[in-house]
Structure 1
Amino acid sequence: MARILSLVLLVFLLISPSYAKSDSTLFALQELQNSKQILQKEVETQSKALKAATSDDEKQQFKESINKLNQQVDAIETKFERIATGIDISTVKPEEVISNTTLSEDFQMLLKPLIASAKGATKEMRQKSELQEEIEHYKRILPSAVKAYENIQTLLKDANSTDLKGELKPLEKYWLQQIQLLSSNLNASLHQLDTLEQNSVSFVDAFQTNTKSFFEERGLFLFEGLVAFILVIVLMQLFHMWIVKIFPIFTKPNRSFFLRLIDLFYRILMVIMAIVVPMAIFYVEEDWFLFSIGILVLFGLAWTFRHIISKLWQQALLLLNVGSVREDERIFYEGLPWRVRNINIFTVLENPISKVRLRIPIESLIGLTSRPAGKNEPWFPCRIGDWMMLTDGYYGVVTGISLEFIEFQDLGGGQRTYLVSSFLQLSPTNVSTDFRIVQTFGISYQHQRESTTTVIQQLEAFIRNKIQQEEYDTHLKLLLVQFDSAEDSSLNVAVIANFDGELAPFYFKLKRSISRWCVDACNAYGWEIPFPQLTIHQPTIKES
């Protein structure tokens, strides 16, 4: 019973943090040595039992038990050496030379410096986490092991049967060994954790130290790689500009497929060289960490290319001018028709009438389709300087056109701005090309006999004479005076006058002038202008 009490006291002393802090390295090593001896004795016992076993099942069980015990012995030896030396012995042991490696293993070997650096940066944190997990594990199961040992001790004391005691004795021995092993492992883990905490540094200090070490060791190589990257991009771009200047055929809109293919391959080569040249510098300088980063970037690009290969393929077809959108063809984009002026990394679209230009990335063309433009296909209703008439009644000259807005100025100088989409919905009429004025006026029914003959001839001659007098005749393209209709109170005559676009600013003035000339003609020839009359029929009331 005294032995049990001493073991229980030992367990709680080991679990106590104050005891773990005051524990010495020699005591921890002694505990591990005792545990190792216990395990080695158990291995010898199991080995003898293996030799004496007769059935295959028994032999297999003993082999598995011996393997587990040997693994525990190896773990104790590793922990013993780590506590004794005070360092991580895995960092100083020679690495095994691996031959006949697979592709995956070769890739891991290339990235090993990068992985090792990342592990080194988090080594202390991972070690603390592992030790804390071990300590919690031992603290959780050690009391259970003590309780099991106590229960067996109680049963041995109360048992009267020799056979029963013979069965309980091995269990007593086993659980005593487990208590000793768990206690020594717990003590060793507590000692390691205490050592790590004493030697640990703050995150800020560690970051400053690692940053300083990085730039002291690799700063020059990183600067050389960065300069090489910039030089490759600049020099190859200058060379491209020089070639284009010497051979302007490379910039013509209708370049051949072969020239476009050369240009595409050159751009791909520029990207590859910008990555490979810095990697070559890292290789020559034998900086495997930066070299691993370069390999990682290459594989990252390859992986990205794998996922967007379909999109890149379509962009390549567009650059080669064999895709769904081609240069000098018509395309509908953002609600407007455009001519594809130049397909490149940034494609230039142009509306030939409004002179609006748009530069868009080539990926915006994916999914669109162009077609050859017809000779008389409209591109835009107007140019700057054209006079427009809208269905909302506005009349003004175009002073500015952009992709989003169109700006007008009326005859009084007032400015008005429309969204291009709203402008197009108002069915704009361009008066600056040619325009027609149609004015209708009526004469009285008393001129019915000559309304389709004499009146028409005299009125046309009168208006033509007035146009000449006011010097509009050079811009007159057509003048027609025709009988229009017979209304309730008048005979209507239509005056149709076509003018060229130079008189567009005087559209309403000409319209008023024609009305005035018609009235002047009525006065000159004595034609009566009727007015609407209302006739009231009043029934006759007979007197009674």
Structure 2
Amino acid sequence: MKRLYIITAFCLAILVCPPSSFSEAPATSEQAAAVEQPAAKEPNGPAEILASLLELRKNLKEQMQLSKKKLEASKSDAEKESLEKEISQLDKQLSENSNDFERIATGIEPALFAEKKPEVFSWKEEVASLVEPAIKELKRFTIRARQKTNLKDKIAELEQLSAAANQGVAHLEEVSVQSKNKQVVKEVKGLEPEWQNIQKRLANKLELAQRELAQLEDQEVSLVESSSQSVRNFFRDRGRYLIMALLTFVAILLGFRLLYRLIVRISVRLTGQQEERSFKIRLLYIIFQVLSVVLAVIGLFFVLYLAEDWFLLSMAIVFFLGLAWTIRQGVPRLWQEGRLMLNVGAVRENERIMMYGLPWQVTTINVFCKLVNPSLDTELRVPIENLIGLTSRPFDPDEAWFPCRKGDWVEVNGGSRAKVVSLSHEQVELVERGGRRIFYPTEAFLQACPANLSRNFRMKVPFGISYGLQDKATDEIPRILKSYLEKRMEEEGYSKKCLNLLVEFMQANSSSLDLLVIADFDGDVADICKRIERAIQKWCVECCTQNDWEIPFPQLTVHKAEG
């Protein structure tokens, strides 16, 4: 009962199980023996015990003398061997009697003064001692199947031997009948009783084995019934202990997690600052994680130890030893992950890192880390081991995270304009005017160096006039043309979106004097930039018409040489 009270108190301490969970623990074999057998009346003091030991020693010596006399008088080897074993056993009992007498008389264990043999540690023996309860339990589960198999093998062997014995007896009878030599017949007749005894003995053994097999088959139940019975027996005997051990394991883990959160909240309230991600809190988090796992495993072992279920305890020890042996090769990697979680590694929180060909902001480093790209509006949750081998850096607030955002108008490879309708770290989806959709892998999209028109853009429109206007081409005509363009933009409603407008002389071409219209526009009109470009060309022609400026065309001039 003391063992049961200890288990109950332990479970109450971790707030997991009711106090009566262990009330039906199976009694050990020693306890059962103590219940079934009445307690023997013990002597009152050492003197009576010593007298009893002397009386026992006297009886043992008399019995040994009697056995030695029988051994000297015996002529049978089998009887001599039996008597020698009996004498050896009596001698062992006498030695134990002497040790008991000395121990009770002195009150000290004589073995304390005996020379101790050096113990040699053998890991094979230690592992075998751990696995032994599990193997015994498995053997107990399969005992019926093994008995049935052994009986079938035994029956097959006995049938073979019985057939040979029958054949031998029949052959002896045949020889005794056919032989005319009386001496041969006499010898054969002398062999017949021995072989008949062998025949009967084998027949009896065969019949007994067949009966045992029949009894086992009669006691067999269906697989479903056997499985259900095994499950019931498991939960009745070991299931409770296993569940309590697992609940203890989980309760300790949760308790440490709640305690960690409580400490963090108290720390924040006392300091008045948000220190959840400070180095001290990170270090405390790792310590709590390691300590919670260690104590949870110890708690699981402790419950199974108090329950005295050596099968479950040995299986749990073997499991955790195997787990530790498996993860031992990952210790260097765990060290690197620990440095990352402490925020003292190559990758740190609130810094910029390159992954999957894109820049990311590291917002949280934990078992699973959070990476954010502000331009993509995408958040990734990646395991901490994926950050090993990478390096982060501080970033400027004005740094770009992606060439465009969703809804921007871009030009890819100097081609047609398209609107960005979908962005991710995997692909970019564009829609041209008219509805044609284009999909780019994000890496290919970045390699194409897209031009973002939604952040303002510049338009350059060349326009040529005749050489007959050479005297006005560099000053007067650009001024008049600019005034006309500003007027028309005001009329069409583009003036508010036009950030800058210039008309300059560009070059003297082969057939014309070229002017250049430079216009900077707000990104809001990026979707109609080609329409505005065509409008500027149109307004230049209208201005030339109003002012009678000749628009040239390619000409070929031929000079005739004087002869």
Q: Same fold (TM over 0.5)?
A: yes
- 1:372 maps to 393
For the residue of structure 2 that corresponds to 1:358, the secondary structure is: strand
Q: 301, 312, 316: which one pairs with 2:338?
A: 316
Distance change in 2, residues 1:152/1:522 (3 Å): farther
Distance change in 2, residues 1:522/1:174 (3 Å): farther
2:479–2:503 CA contact under 8 A, matched in 1: no
1:487-526 correspondence to structure 2 within 5 Å = 487=510, 489-501=511-523, 503-505=525-527, 507-526=529-548
For the residue of structure 1 that corresponds to 2:463, the secondary structure is: strand
> What is the Cα deviation at residue 153 of structure 1?
11
- 2:506 maps to 483
- 2:363 maps to 341
Residue 408 of structure 2 is aligned to residue 383 of structure 1: no
Instruction: Name the CA distance, whole Å, in 2 between partners of 1:378 and 1:408.
Output: 20
1:425-436 correspondence to structure 2 within 5 Å = 425-436=447-458
Could you tell which deviates more after superposition, 134-143 or 117-126?
134-143
1:29-428 correspondence to structure 2 within 5 Å = 102-139=122-159, 186=206, 188-247=208-267, 250-252=275-277, 255-256=278-279, 259-366=281-388, 368-373=389-394, 375=396, 378-391=400-413, 393-398=415-420, 400-406=422-428, 416=437, 418-421=439-442, 423-428=445-450
Could you tell which deviates more after superposition, 338-347 or 376-385?
376-385
Q: TM-score, normalised by structure 1?
A: 0.65
Please list the CA deviations of residues 397-443 of structure 1 after superposition, one character each: whole Å capped at 9, or x if unmatched. Answer: 5455334454567788x695745525435432112323110111222
For the residue of structure 2 that corresponds to 1:357, the secondary structure is: strand
Amino acid at match of 1:241: R
2:362–2:372 CA contact under 8 A, matched in 1: yes
> What is the Cα deviation at residue 197 of structure 1?
2.0
Distance change in 2, residues 1:463/1:197 (3 Å): same
> What is the Cα deviation at residue 295 of structure 1?
2.2
> What is the Cα deviation at residue 526 of structure 1?
1.9
1:443–1:527 CA contact under 8 A, matched in 2: yes
Distance change in 2, residues 1:396/1:140 (3 Å): same
Amino acid at match of 2:140: G
1:438–1:497 CA contact under 8 A, matched in 2: yes
1:407–1:415 CA contact under 8 A, matched in 2: no
Over aligned residue pairs, what C-alpha RMSD do you find?
A: 4.6
> What is the Cα deviation at residue 106 of structure 1?
4.0
Q: TM-score, normalised by structure 2?
A: 0.63
Instruction: Name the CA distance, whole Å, in 1 between partners of 2:440 and 2:157.
Output: 73
For the residue of structure 1 that corresponds to 2:550, the secondary structure is: coil
Could you tell which deviates more after superposition, 450-459 or 519-528?
450-459
Structure 2: give runs of 5+ residues left out of the alignment: 1-73, 82-117, 269-273, 559-563
> What is the Cα deviation at residue 122 of structure 1?
1.2
Instruction: Name the CA distance, whole Å, in 1 between partners of 2:75 and 2:216.
Output: 37
> What is the Cα deviation at residue 327 of structure 1?
2.8
Distance change in 2, residues 1:150/1:449 (3 Å): farther
1:434–1:501 CA contact under 8 A, matched in 2: yes
Could you tell which deviates more after superposition, 425-434 or 386-395?
386-395
> What is the Cα deviation at residue 391 of structure 1?
3.7
Instruction: Name the CA distance, whole Å, in 2 between partners of 1:491 and 1:458.
Output: 16
1:396–1:411 CA contact under 8 A, matched in 2: yes
- 2:495 maps to 472
Instruction: Name the CA distance, whole Å, in 2 between partners of 1:281 and 1:246.
Output: 33
Amino acid at match of 1:427: C
Instruction: Name the CA distance, whole Å, in 2 between partners of 1:344 and 1:278.
Output: 27
Amino acid at match of 1:370: T
Instruction: Name the CA distance, whole Å, in 1 between partners of 2:502 and 2:201.
Output: 120
Amino acid at match of 2:374: P
Identity of aligned residues (%): 34
> What is the Cα deviation at residue 359 of structure 1?
1.0
For the residue of structure 2 that corresponds to 1:300, the secondary structure is: helix
2:264–2:281 CA contact under 8 A, matched in 1: no
2:504–2:516 CA contact under 8 A, matched in 1: yes
1:478–1:499 CA contact under 8 A, matched in 2: no
For the residue of structure 2 that corresponds to 1:327, the secondary structure is: coil
Instruction: Name the CA distance, whole Å, in 2 between partners of 1:336 and 1:147.
Output: 90
Please list the CA deviations of residues 69-91 of structure 1 after superposition, one character each: whole Å capped at 9, or x if unmatched. Answer: xxxxxxxxxxxxxxxxxxxxxxx
Q: 460, 464, 489: which one pairs with 1:442?
A: 464
